[in-house]
Amino acid sequence: MGEKIVIIGAVAAGPKSACRVKRLMPDAEVLIVDQDNLISYGGCGIPYYVSGDVSDEDELRKTSFHMTRDESFFLDAKGVQIRIYTKALSIDRQAKTVLVEDVRGAEAKTDTIAYDKLVLATGSRPNVIPIPGADLDGVFTISDLHKAIAIKGRLAKGKIGKAVVIGGGAIGLEMAEAFADLWGVETTLLEFMPQLLPRIVDRPFADMLKKHLRDQGVNIHVNESALSLEADNEGRVCRVITPKRTLETDIVVMATGVRARSELAKDADLLVSPMGSIVVNNRLQTSDPNIYAAGDCIETVNLVSGKKFYIAMGSLANRQGRVVGDNLAGIASTFDGAVGSFIMKAFECCIGGVGLSLEMALEEGFDADAALSAPSDRAHFFPTEAKIPLQMVFDRKSRRVLGVQGFGPMGDAVLARIDASAGLIAKGATIDDFSNLEMAYAPPFATALDALNSVANVADNMACNRHRNLSIPDFLAWMADPAGQPDWIALDLRHPNEVGAFKEKFEKTWLPLVYNEVRQRYEELPTDKKLIIICDAGTRSYEIQVFLDSVGLTNSLVLGGGFNCIARLGVDWWPTK
């Protein structure tokens, strides 16, 4: 027999490493141990299983050709041996052995497994916020398929009328949709931070998402978390207490992030980060060259900031698994890091991003700014056209693109722009690379200058100081307190039908002047005011700013993203009529 390869963990990175190395070195003896019996499942599919989109949990464990990926499948089809119910207790790096325990029996039955090469694919565990009642019956994390089966069981029995989800990250949001959409559960989501998807997208995008979820009937409270959970007479969770309210509920899902499972590595004196993730090089070797690690248990490099970061994603686990398989077989493949591409369905909409948000980019010390627009996803004359707010975060000095965010109707339009950005951002591409990026064009799919080209052009104009921008947060602050900026006035370029109600409501701060009349009538404009130029997406506003500059009216700002974006935020001052 060939080399003995032992892998701990059989969900994503583990099986991927195993199958890849077995294909490259068919005579290798490959064994995976996992403490669970449910292995090799698509964990990211759990919300769709709970919602009912996926009818059976077995679907999450099947190949695309409908075979269930259980132990006998791995043995018969892949030549990979799997021991389920087998928990790894410790690693003896000198002896090159793993001590494992069969967790089925009442009494501990241990065993020692020798390895030539070891792979840690121990995954992550969900954070549990330490509040009273966190261990009550009916309080769940989304840590594995068993939990999902239990939740769906309760839903199917009609036992859940109300649900509270704690945590406004992707998993919390997907679970909230699962409860509310198909099951009609009255669902409340709590997020401790001031916005959904904190540190992932910027506030305007988080707020577009929030409004859409609220429009779909999900109650959302940001800046608010649970203080305690209370039980009914049978010990089942029935109330969530927050600083602001008491929520009746039949179930609580805690989706407050995950952290690496790295105890085994730590106990074996492998290098582990202060955050608790296993440290690896770009060949995915730990500090012991005979031990590799991949998936949710490792830290990686953020390819934008250049710094180490922790990112737990099934897609990365699979890519890393392949790299480990290569290296086990002597092929020097590398995993150089990640840009954090993400996409998420939210009822009728989707939101996606890649790279750094503006907030994160500023925190990382970049000379960062953000270009926001609301371009069409396809030709405006094509029946299914929609506007997709799209933001490009860039460094003003180097012109490097640091991140892209998008929001749009459910479908693959936002996905296309995120995917197109991912590879370029990883390679350090500039605004100019995006301006000329040759996105495929036909009217049913795109505009002649693609949405992504357009937002890059806005970034170019901003980076060259031709476009002086007012951000949405600054605009909203002014609308909340016009007296705070007494010399500001809105110059609204939109069609009179659109502007009328605003002029009526904000008489003193609102000045309508339709776009194509500005060149004739600019002399009517006040010279003692800062003009906040407004249109639908920001494009016309920029043109007018340039023109006004040329005639000496240089005191203006463009509302980037325009009222298309503002309308999606659910502001309370929007004229109702």
Number of helices (H), then strands (E), in the chain: 17, 30
* Spatial distance between the Cα atoms of 6 and 32, rounded to a whole number of angstroms: 6
We find the least distance from the C-beta atom of residue 106 to a copy of itself, in angstroms, to be 34
Nearer to a copy of itself, 23 or 397 (CB): 23
44 catalytically annotated: yes
* Spatial distance between the Cα atoms of 468 and 480, rounded to a whole number of angstroms: 22
Interacting stretch for a copy of itself, rule CB under 8 A, among 76-84, 101-109, 236-244, 363-371? 76-84
Asked if 491 touches a copy of itself (CB under 8 A), the answer is no
Of 12-51, binders to a copy of itself (CB under 8 A) are: 12, 23-24, 26-27, 42, 44-45, 48-49
Asked if 307 touches a copy of itself (CB under 8 A), the answer is no
Rounded to the nearest 5°, which phi and psi values hold at 244? Answer: -115, -15
Q: 3-state DSSP call for residue 350?
A: strand
Interacting stretch for a copy of itself, rule CB under 8 A, among 146-154, 155-163, 212-220, 451-459? 451-459
Give 279's DSSP letter.
Answer: P
Asked if 411 touches a copy of itself (CB under 8 A), the answer is yes
Does residue 348 contact residue 409 with C-beta atoms inside 8 Å?
A: yes
Does residue 239 contact residue 229 with C-beta atoms inside 8 Å?
A: yes
For the chain, the 3-state helix, strand and coil shares in percent, each to the nearest 5, are: 30, 25, 45
Of 192-211, binders to a copy of itself (CB under 8 A) are: none
* Spatial distance between the Cα atoms of 333 and 156, rounded to a whole number of angstroms: 46
# residues contacting a copy of itself (CB under 8 A): 111
We find the least distance from the C-beta atom of residue 111 to a copy of itself, in angstroms, to be 25
State both tokens at 384: 């299914």
Asked if 478 touches a copy of itself (CB under 8 A), the answer is no
Of 111-130, binders to a copy of itself (CB under 8 A) are: none
Of 250-289, binders to a copy of itself (CB under 8 A) are: none
Distance between alpha carbon 197 and the CA centroid of its chain, in Å? Answer: 7
Nearer to a copy of itself, 138 or 310 (CB): 310
Asked if 336 touches a copy of itself (CB under 8 A), the answer is yes
Of 78-107, binders to a copy of itself (CB under 8 A) are: 78-79
Contacting a copy of itself (CB under 8 A), which of 183, 292, 310, 342?
342
Q: How many residues does the chain have?
A: 577
- Please, what is the angle between helix 472-480 and helix 203-215, to 10°? 70
Asked if 62 touches a copy of itself (CB under 8 A), the answer is yes
Output the CA torsion sign for 309, 315, 318, 320.
Answer: negative
Contacting a copy of itself (CB under 8 A), which of 17, 249, 453, 556?
453
* Spatial distance between the Cα atoms of 345 and 45, rounded to a whole number of angstroms: 12
We find the least distance from the C-beta atom of residue 412 to a copy of itself, in angstroms, to be 4
Pairing of strands 556-559, 109-114: unpaired
Nearer to a copy of itself, 150 or 410 (CB): 410
Of 369-398, binders to a copy of itself (CB under 8 A) are: 375-376, 379-383
Q: 3-state DSSP call for residue 450?
A: coil
Asked if 214 touches a copy of itself (CB under 8 A), the answer is no
Of 156, 233, 157, 155, which Cα lies nearest the Cα of 187? 155
We find the least distance from the C-beta atom of residue 172 to a copy of itself, in angstroms, to be 14
Asked if 496 touches a copy of itself (CB under 8 A), the answer is no
Residue 100 contacts by C-beta under 8 Å, 6 or more apart in sequence?
33, 83, 86, 87, 88, 89, 110, 111, 112, 113
Of 513-572, binders to a copy of itself (CB under 8 A) are: 515-517, 519-520, 535-537, 540, 542-543, 546-547, 549-550
Nearer to a copy of itself, 88 or 557 (CB): 557
Tell me which residues are annotated as active site. 44
